[in-house]
Homo-oligomer: A and B are copies of this chain.
């Protein structure tokens, strides 16, 4: 077995710092050309190239991948992150996380940090209002990006997300097939691509079935359990009393069901409710939630693989990859019941 050669051996021999040696071996522009050449020559001469660490350094990789999403407290993102993490782990990439809470400035600060650290790449669910230039800047600075869950028009990087319009159509059609005619849509925002696609999918399914889409029946906003709980009174008081609610996600649906139960009605019997995402929790909710599986683990795994492919110089299709959602029918939906 070859003896292990340390960076400090080279550094001591040449009278430079180990940091300089490390940077030089990674072809960093921070090191003067002449110094870099001197270091690389010496490294080759003493056989440093056979060292495993040097081999990894030759690829100019720092081993760091950044991941930034709206809010990792949201289990939807957490499930995507688990899949990303497990892929990156296998490639021994270190995984640095941050929330942007849909604040462009926070997203930019994190990205600045990644650039300063010489990170290898970034996986992001872009903040609301992210201009395509922000993504293009990453690429220009040698920080390859892959998007998950949300797209940015014209950014020219791979995007992995569920087919939101199709998915919400599955939920809406399921309610229609049970006999529901007055169906509300609760939660989400038109400021994200996801929000627009889900609302369009709901409208499309209603219109296809010849049903009237009442503007009042759209309660935009809620994205959390708490918010779903809080609008339950507003939902129950809607004009013409919708018999069912298509919810933005499972969190809103579970919150809404809790609110409906608190009002003395039985969700799944008196009012039908659908979720979106099929979080682990959906199956154990009371009642078990009918929802749309949104392929979080697929999104995460495929996004991580695409990034790793890019880092390894494998060509990656720069396009949207739509994961096809599936309807999972459980006890929160049933035939329509007219409330008094």
Stretch of A145-153, A191-199, A258-266, A300-308 with 4 or more beta carbons under 8 angstroms from chain B: A258-266
Tell me which of B16, B82, B113, B229 contacts A16 (CB under 8 A).
Answer: B16
- Smallest CB gap from A75: residue in B: B73
When the two chains form their complex, are residues B35 and A18 in contact, meaning their CB atoms are under 8 A apart?
A: no
When the two chains form their complex, are residues B82 and A229 in contact, meaning their CB atoms are under 8 A apart?
A: no
Please, could you name 15 A-B residue pairs with CB atoms under 8 Å apart, sorted by A? A16-B17, A16-B20, A17-B17, A17-B24, A17-B32, A19-B19, A19-B20, A19-B28, A72-B73, A73-B82, A94-B113, A96-B98, A96-B113, A226-B280, A257-B286
Q: How far is it, in angstroms, between the C-alpha of A19 and the C-alpha of B15 when the chains are bound?
A: 15
Main secondary structure on A side of the interface with B: helix
Tell me which of B19, B281, B286 contacts A286 (CB under 8 A).
Answer: B286
A217 close to chain B: CB less than 8 A: no
Chain A residues within CB distance 8 Å of chain B: 11-12, 15-20, 23-24, 28, 30-32, 35, 63-64, 72-73, 75, 78, 81-82, 85, 89, 94-99, 106, 109-110, 113, 117, 225-226, 229, 255, 257-259, 261-262, 280-281, 284-286
Minimum C-beta distance from A225 to chain B (A): 6
When the two chains form their complex, are residues B284 and A225 in contact, meaning their CB atoms are under 8 A apart?
A: yes
Which 3 A-B pairs have CB atoms at the shortest separation, nearest pair first? A97-B97, A73-B78, A229-B284
When the two chains form their complex, are residues A94 and B72 in contact, meaning their CB atoms are under 8 A apart?
A: no
When the two chains form their complex, are residues A30 and B35 in contact, meaning their CB atoms are under 8 A apart?
A: no
Q: Which residues of B sit under 8 angstroms from A11, Cβ to Cβ?
A: 32
When the two chains form their complex, are residues B78 and A94 in contact, meaning their CB atoms are under 8 A apart?
A: no
When the two chains form their complex, are residues A96 and B99 in contact, meaning their CB atoms are under 8 A apart?
A: no
Q: How far is it, in angstroms, between the C-alpha of A12 and the C-alpha of B32 when the chains are bound?
A: 8
When the two chains form their complex, are residues A31 and B19 in contact, meaning their CB atoms are under 8 A apart?
A: yes
Q: Which residues of B sit under 8 angstroms from A23, Cβ to Cβ?
A: 17, 19
Q: Which residues of B sit under 8 angstroms from A19, Cβ to Cβ?
A: 17, 19-20, 23, 28, 30-31
